[in-house]
Amino acid sequence: MDAGLKDNSLQQHTPMMRQYLGIKAQYPDMLLFYRMGDFYELFHDDAEKASRLLGITLTKRGASNGEPIRMAGVPYHAAEQYLAKLAKLGEGVAICEQVGDPAKSKGPVERQVTRILTPGTLTDSALLDETRDNWLMAVCAGDGLLGLARINLASGQFILNEIAPGLLGQELQRISPAELLIADDFTHPAIEAIKCSKKRLASWQFDRDSALQTLTRQFATYDLSGFGASDLTAAVAAAGALLDYVKHTQRTTLPHISGLRVEQAQDYIQLDAATRRNLEIDQTLQGESKPTLYSLLDTTRTAMGARLLRHWLHHPLRDVKAIQARQAALAALLGADYQSLRQLLSGVGDIERITARIALKTARPRDLSGLRDSLQQLISLQGGIAHHEASLLQMLAAEMQAPQAVIELLDSAIRQEPASVLREGGVIADGYDAELDELRSIQTNHGDFLLRFEAEEKQRTGIANLRVEYNSVHGFYIEISRAQAENAPPEYRRRQTLKNVERFITPELKAFEDKVLSANERALVREKALYEEILEVLSPYIQALQRNAAAVAQLDVLVAFAERAEALNYVAPSFVEEAGLQITDGRHPVVEQLAQPFIANDVTLSPYRQLLLITGPNMGGKSTYMRQTALIVLLAHCGCYVPATSASMGCIDRIFTRIGASDDLAGGRSTFMVEMTETANILHNATEHSLVLLDEIGRGTSTFDGLSLAWAVARQLLEKNRSYTLFATHYFELTRIVEEFKHAANVHLDAVEHGNGIVFLHRVEEGPASQSYGLQVAQLAGIPRSVINAAKRKLAQLEQQHLNTGPQTDMFAQEVPEPEPVLHAALAQLEVIQPDDLTPKQALELIYKLRQLI
């Protein structure tokens, strides 16, 4: 506990520290930013922690309760950059502002916590990545299921679902929450493994009945049946705890959270954590943001579109009608001038997050001017797509109808280029409010008075070089040279003495100064009141603005798909009722941009050709071939065109991948254990509609163990799972699996030797590979020539031994009884001789004879 809080007798502290400690006690697990003048100060343990995290100076000033006060502070005008850093570090911050009037306060100025920032409740653009959704998530244990609820406070999305406990890790990887709420008695390995801010709440806060009251009160409904959530007991409990937490942190109503959506697993193709990682959807295997599928496709023009694109790529659809609606919209855009739409979209701000800040009463002046300009762009965007026949574009045009009242209000009320913060003034447009205009007139039109006053004083005093001026520190003053200062009239009161001049004030000038400064203060007060009034007037339009934002985001992604399809030569895939997958001249969307020329390849999978056993040299392209197949399927189910000459496919429910070798040091798992765990997941969950990619199963153990496992896994996939499988292997013995299973086929990626090197052809051919070219690849990798030569000699020796001892064990041979061993001739003769009957000469002759038999 903080040293400052150990003493229960607050009376031993100074009045200011008593106030601080009283507020801090309400937020023990957060950093308290305590406003003092132009700084936010932190004290005691908070100060030490902030000094360490933010790199700010830790000092000691004065004493309270007999102890030095440890302090660290940041300027209030630069606080956002420090808050952003703390948010990225997963820290919660309570911001305590001065709400009382210092002039009227006896003792410390009244202060209150006005904002609470936690990693999952951020809405400020300065604190968020504009291309990523920021999720606050809660998990609640139910009867055999886990209830999940998540809120994106910056958009108003509220989503529920229930899952089996074993799928929690996969869901956490999919959603990647910024902050996670869990009951204090809830444990699960996935909770410990996920890297995010975690907040434990009392278990009673997940009470289902209380949650139901909280939710129905928020949505003004009798129950949750209209949302399809009545039977989701655990998810509803999680949602109630989540909403209560958000209300506590925001300290205001949440009008932009007006409903919830139940997410069904069958809505999307399921991608587990290994698949998302191996396909490098939006993060490379090295943890970089590019080159990835997302970085290639993201030519969106709005932050909303960028976020939605990421969501679509992680949630490929299974509803063929919805996919085809996207395809039809894409075709319509490609047949029209989509480039003009891109230009219009470039002028649209982040309506989604601006709307959330309006709802939370945290919108800044430039949010409102940005909203005004964006809504005006929507009029042109709507006209640009309304004439298309595609049903999705028609729907988006209707949803893009901007509220005219909002445009008119913001156009008349907000300056074209308002100040960045309200406290500076200069936000409300001239002509919007008569009282404000009058106060501003007093501020700005005092030039005539000063000129008249200066002329009168020159004439009255006879001081020719007298001047009347103003600065922000000393206000209005009369300036006279030192030489003439003695001629100043008695009513001139000295305000400041400089080296060469004296500055004075008179009662008349002071009265005018008070009037001007009073007008300035009153104008700021009036402007603040008007601004808050505007936010209230905008509240009824929150849901309409959310619909506008969603429509713009969808259009932005579709236009980006159109641009990419044309620029990268993609084609529209077709969806058929028959099961299977047919790709002609398929290409890896990312690799083809990095390696030219890229060799395109075909893929054919069907109920009669379920498993392709892929052989070929390392670096020959096996992994690329498998990944491109999965990415083409994923893109097709997002409604995007695909990198191929043609593609058609039936229903796909899941994509599984087991590619690459890596250990899990943190989890204490070896490379082979990771491989087997991922393979087990596939064997337990893959269905006849799943696409499975398996690369080098069994390589993490001994040759015979690995070969046996690879064979058994392939058989399981063919006989039980019956999934569509691409199975890459370095076990050439496995290619004979086609002799046992007619639904398996061999393909290989070829290479040719050229001189002492190797040329990879990257072309997929039918049939098994002839050799692995391992030594040639090692030579390409830079293995020393002496090592390569030694390996060649050893290879020749092993191959000769193989010829002498016969072929390697046949994995596919029928099991037959082992024959009785044949006794060696020398041993047979030794068994029948009687040593005691032999003379020394006979024994010596027998030894020579036996030696000849060996």
Q: Is residue 115 very low, low, confident or very high in pLDDT (cuts 50, 70, 90)?
A: confident
pLDDT at 218: 95
* 3-class secondary structure per residue, 443-454: HHCCHHHHHHHH
Residues 611 and 735 placed together within one structural domain of the fold = yes
Q: Which helix (H) or strand (E) holds 673?
A: helix 671-685
The answer to whether residue 304 sits within a structural domain is: no
Which residues, listed in sequence order, are joined to residue 502 by a DSSP beta bridge? 480, 497
Residues 331 and 415 placed together within one structural domain of the fold = yes
If you average pLDDT over each of 206-215, 612-621, 748-757, which comes out highest?
Answer: 206-215
The answer to whether residue 103 sits within a structural domain is: yes
354-377 per-position pLDDT tens digit = 999 999 999 999 999 999 999 999
Are the beta carbons of 118 and 251 closer than 8 angstroms?
no
Query: Between 144 and 638, where is the model more confident?
Result: 638
Crossing angle of the two packed helices 507-538 and 404-413, in degrees rounded to 10 = 170
Residues 562 and 641 placed together within one structural domain of the fold = no
- Tell me the three state secondary structure of residue 455: helix
Flag whether pLDDT at 809 surpasses 60: no
Share of the chain above pLDDT 90, in %: 60
Q: Which helix (H) or strand (E) holds 556?
A: helix 542-568
> If you ran DSSP here, which 8-state letter would residue 501 be given?
E
pLDDT at 81: 87
The answer to whether residue 485 sits within a structural domain is: yes
Which of residues 747, 772, 797 is at a domain's end? Answer: 772
Please, where are the H alpha helices in 279-390?
293-297, 303-314, 320-334, 338-345, 351-359, 365-385
Are the beta carbons of 91 and 55 closer than 8 angstroms?
no
448-468 per-position pLDDT tens digit = 888 889 999 999 999 999 999
Q: Is residue 850 very low, low, confident or very high in pLDDT (cuts 50, 70, 90)?
A: low
Residues 508 and 469 placed together within one structural domain of the fold = yes
| CA–CA gap between residue 464 and residue 128 (Å, rounded) | 60
Strand order of the sheet with strand 111-117? 59-64, 67-75, 39-43, 31-36, 93-98, 111-117
Q: Which helix (H) or strand (E) holds 478?
A: strand 475-481
Residues 826 and 705 placed together within one structural domain of the fold = no
Least confident range of 139-148, 787-796, 817-826: 817-826
Q: Is residue 6 very low, low, confident or very high in pLDDT (cuts 50, 70, 90)?
A: very low
Flag whether pLDDT at 700 surpasses 80: no
Q: Is residue 430 very low, low, confident or very high in pLDDT (cuts 50, 70, 90)?
A: very high
Residues 601 and 691 placed together within one structural domain of the fold = yes
Flag whether pLDDT at 844 surpasses 90: no
297-311 per-position pLDDT tens digit = 999 999 999 999 999
What is the chain's mean pLDDT, rounded?
A: 87
The domain spanning residue 527 has which CATH number?
1.10.1420.10
Domain region containing 744: 574-772
Q: Is residue 815 very low, low, confident or very high in pLDDT (cuts 50, 70, 90)?
A: very low
Backbone angles phi, psi at 822, to 5 degrees: -85, 125
The domain spanning residue 12 has which CATH number?
3.40.1170.10
For 762: left if phi > 0, alpha if psi spans -120 to 50, otherwise beta; the answer is: left
Residues 738 and 845 placed together within one structural domain of the fold = no
The answer to whether residue 778 sits within a structural domain is: no
Residues 606 and 755 placed together within one structural domain of the fold = yes
Residue matched to tokens 């129905």: 216
Residues 585 and 499 placed together within one structural domain of the fold = no
Residues 442 and 347 placed together within one structural domain of the fold = no
Q: What is the mean pLDDT of residues 756-760?
A: 67
The answer to whether residue 813 sits within a structural domain is: no
The answer to whether residue 293 sits within a structural domain is: no
Q: Which long-range contacts (CB under 8 A, 24 or more apart) does 189-192 make?
A: 191/139
Q: Is residue 5 very low, low, confident or very high in pLDDT (cuts 50, 70, 90)?
A: very low
Structure-token pair, residue 475 = 């206000």
| CA–CA gap between residue 258 and residue 269 (Å, rounded) | 28
Q: Is the dihedral of CA 654, 658, 659, 662 positive or negative?
A: positive
Least confident range of 430-439, 557-566, 629-638, 698-707: 698-707
pLDDT at 781: 63
Residues 374 and 414 placed together within one structural domain of the fold = yes
Are the beta carbons of 317 and 639 closer than 8 angstroms?
yes
Q: What is the mean pLDDT of residues 809-818?
A: 48
Which of residues 568, 592, 625 is at a domain's end? Answer: 568
| CA–CA gap between residue 83 and residue 72 (Å, rounded) | 14
Q: What is the mean pLDDT of residues 437-442?
A: 88
pLDDT at 832: 59
Q: Which long-range contacts (CB under 8 A, 24 or more apart) does 373-376 make?
A: 373/347, 373/349, 374/347, 374/348, 374/349, 375/351, 375/402, 375/403, 375/406, 375/407, 375/410, 375/548, 376/402, 376/407
Which residues, listed in sequence order, are joined to residue 117 by a DSSP beta bridge? 93
Least confident range of 563-577, 667-681, 766-780: 766-780
pLDDT at 663: 43
Which residues lie closer than 8 Å to 149 by C-beta, 6 or more apart?
Answer: 137, 138, 140, 158, 159, 160, 235, 238, 239, 241, 242
The answer to whether residue 738 sits within a structural domain is: yes
- Cα–Cα distances in Å, from 560 out to 10, 628, 830? 61, 20, 87
Kindly provide the b/e burial profile for residues 462-473, where b requires at least 16 CB atoms within 10 angstroms of the residue's own CB: ebeebbbeeeee
155-167 per-position pLDDT tens digit = 999 999 999 998 9
Flag whether pLDDT at 136 surpasses 70: yes
Are the beta carbons of 374 and 396 closer than 8 angstroms?
no
Q: Is residue 756 very low, low, confident or very high in pLDDT (cuts 50, 70, 90)?
A: low
Outline where DSSP puts E strands in 67-156. 67-75, 93-98, 111-117, 136-141, 146-152
The domain spanning residue 203 has which CATH number?
3.30.420.110
* Spatial CA neighbour of 372 closest among 397, 404, 400: 404
Backbone angles phi, psi at 183, to 5 degrees: -70, 150
- Please tell me the pTM assigned to this model: 0.84
Which of residues 117, 149, 178 is at a domain's end? Answer: 117
Residues 768 and 829 placed together within one structural domain of the fold = no
Q: Is residue 624 very low, low, confident or very high in pLDDT (cuts 50, 70, 90)?
A: very high
**Count of structural domains, the chain:** 6
Q: Is residue 679 very low, low, confident or very high in pLDDT (cuts 50, 70, 90)?
A: confident
pLDDT at 98: 87
The domain spanning residue 686 has which CATH number?
3.40.50.300
pLDDT at 473: 80
Q: Is residue 438 very low, low, confident or very high in pLDDT (cuts 50, 70, 90)?
A: confident
* Spatial CA neighbour of 118 closest among 134, 101, 130: 134
* Spatial CA neighbour of 262 closest among 296, 292, 225: 225
Kindly provide the b/e burial profile for residues 52-71, where b requires at least 16 CB atoms within 10 angstroms of the residue's own CB: eebeeeeeeeeebbebebbb
Flag whether pLDDT at 805 surpasses 80: no
Flag whether pLDDT at 649 surpasses 70: yes
The answer to whether residue 70 sits within a structural domain is: yes
